Structure 1
């Protein structure tokens, strides 16, 4: 048997006819840039998350960039985030002269450790924005993080690029910070057929700034108030995302079922399964286990036709691009240890119980 890490072709089959209808309609309407489909999706996604404003952009990376700049970050300002996130969390802003400061994670959820964050904000001057990452689809401790940041006069930008529909104490992530960012990369829980992203905010000023930043700095047609970018969500992707948004909760529920199959199938196997806080609704963008024999296990699974990945093998502070930050191996022990042990197992809504049983049985056989 072959089990892929992701299978977009199989997921697409279930909705192919509807996607073709949507595509035909957009092509027939003849509107492709910042038209009614974009506005419709922005409004729908803002309602879904529970915020006032949404601004569609060209990618999740651009969503973080535009969100930070619209908040008011300038060259020389500092942000604080975690070292085990995808590098776009920092690189989207460091390219603009904004300096990343890193905070270690808690081992249980792989998310920002609020206690360590408080210590950093007490010692490090110049941090203007905190970027907690809802990694793998599990929400961060948002009450503690927001309270700590407010006490230090620091804003909050939620990186929710892996957490569409995730809940913290019954409220959707993306609605806690000053601004938040989501990605619609094809393999996300809510993904399109290319790159796309969105930022959300209740702030009128952040919203107005973001509208200008995404479209050449325009405040009105051919009126360029600031310098900006060309990063716009297009009509076709927006129309597809509007339809997919209606399916998102159902797809997330399927991911929950698949996670349950994994938990049952791996019971008693000497690996560490994902832990879920009692206040959290984990949407399992990824199902990540930990194994001391990680590399050998991955090779064994590959030999048996099972694709796995590592999210992410090298923490940000150990990447060549961020050598100048001055961190070294040992600076963030929790993130570094996790990076040496984590494995992402196949996870997507159309996986079958038979496939999950095969993955679990193969892992169990490895340890026999």
Structure 2
């Protein structure tokens, strides 16, 4: 069986370095917000081209803390509206709700699976204060258009970059190298994955960074002195150490993913399979390779019988979830179509040429 994602194989090359870092952290006697976290924050900020990186407990917390930070700064208030793509993973929407804000769902483009900028304007009201741009599956949303809309309407822009580590805009700048803020997840299956949970906020906004540094640590900048009602959401020292080891290889591993994606796009020839759209720039890091098909269950079963594991990202759209009952009566036909038809194929830096050959041949025989 070709697994959808072989995390053991992905992390094997780092095992010796991981063991050495584990001993180093143990020997230091400092396990929370130590030198490894500081080093990773510096390294990742430099990688992204931003002034600040704040390590937090996970990608969800990164989003929540951005919104809570803006509320503390008076740039948002509870009850404000945040525009968000209707087909995102539900965590994006839950983060808005967790910050006591109101999600306003907007349809994506069927071609890119990212939010349709042309539909954003009609959703803007006097209560709209931000756009949450989600870079779904690893492909950048249309940030030039989104930033234009935000500037014209005095809106904040927050980027959910949980699936897009290292994506490059216009061949020159890493994601979030704008006036916006971005939330990252280092969940083990991400392109830059830890061996447990982890996340980060990147931004050029010094005021926002200062507030989030405090919010992640009980709202405290100086121990035992609390300025805000904060939370406990700190990037773990050991996970930061592991991420410091893996970060230098991220661009190379992303390029390996793009190489596999190019093969899939050029070699899969089957009218029953709708391949993703990509302009072959570095605006896509292929966290996932997602196709659409009319009879997903049949294709999934066929691939499983032939030893190829697939995953559905995601089977139920957020507006149909029990957790979001107030949205259940809304209609998002493009979102529904995407969730009914998408299927993700194996794609990772450790997928072999022979495995790609086999996957392509099996798909072409379907």
Shorter-chain TM band: over 0.9
Give the match for residue 25 of structure 1.
Answer: 24
Unaligned runs of 5+ in 2: none
Q: CA deviation at 1:95?
A: 2.6
Distance between the aligned counterparts of 1:193 and 1:297, measured in 2? 32
CA deviation map 1:99-125 (0-9, x unaligned):
11011101111001010012212xx33
Q: CA deviation at 1:22?
A: 1.5
- 3-state DSSP of counterpart to 1:132: strand
User: Is 1:363–2:366 an aligned residue pair?
Assistant: no
Distance between the aligned counterparts of 1:361 and 1:264, measured in 2? 12
CA contact (8 A) 2:33 2:235 kept: yes
CA contact (8 A) 1:83 1:104 kept: yes
User: Is 1:187–2:192 an aligned residue pair?
Assistant: no
Distance between the aligned counterparts of 2:286 and 2:46, measured in 1? 22
CA deviation map 1:197-221 (0-9, x unaligned):
0001111110111011100010211
CA contact (8 A) 2:216 2:231 kept: yes
CA deviation map 1:37-59 (0-9, x unaligned):
10110011011111111100000
CA contact (8 A) 1:174 1:181 kept: no
Match of 1:281 among 263, 280, 283: 283
| Matched ranges for 1:157-236 at <5 A | 157-170=158-171, 171-236=173-238
Q: CA deviation at 1:175?
A: 2.1
| Matched ranges for 1:104-119 at <5 A | 104-119=107-122
Give the match for residue 153 of structure 1.
Answer: 154
Give the match for residue 100 of structure 2.
Answer: 97
CA contact (8 A) 1:42 1:55 kept: yes
- 3-state DSSP of counterpart to 1:281: coil
Q: CA deviation at 1:141?
A: 0.8
CA contact (8 A) 1:184 1:196 kept: yes
Give the match for residue 5 of structure 2.
Answer: 6
CA contact (8 A) 2:320 2:327 kept: no
- 3-state DSSP of counterpart to 1:226: coil
Q: CA deviation at 1:177?
A: 4.6
Q: CA deviation at 1:359?
A: 1.6
Give the match for residue 343 of structure 1.
Answer: 343
Distance between the aligned counterparts of 2:285 and 2:22, measured in 1? 28
Larger mean Cα displacement after TM superposition, 339-348 or 357-366: 357-366
Q: CA deviation at 1:280?
A: 4.9
What is the RMSD computed on CA atoms of the aligned residues? 1.4
CA contact (8 A) 2:109 2:116 kept: yes
Distance between the aligned counterparts of 2:329 and 2:358, measured in 1? 41
Distance between the aligned counterparts of 1:68 and 1:275, measured in 2? 31
Question: Cα 1:176–1:335, aligned 2, differ >3 Å: closer, same or farther?
Answer: farther
Unaligned runs of 5+ in 1: none
CA contact (8 A) 2:194 2:239 kept: yes
Q: CA deviation at 1:279?
A: 5.5
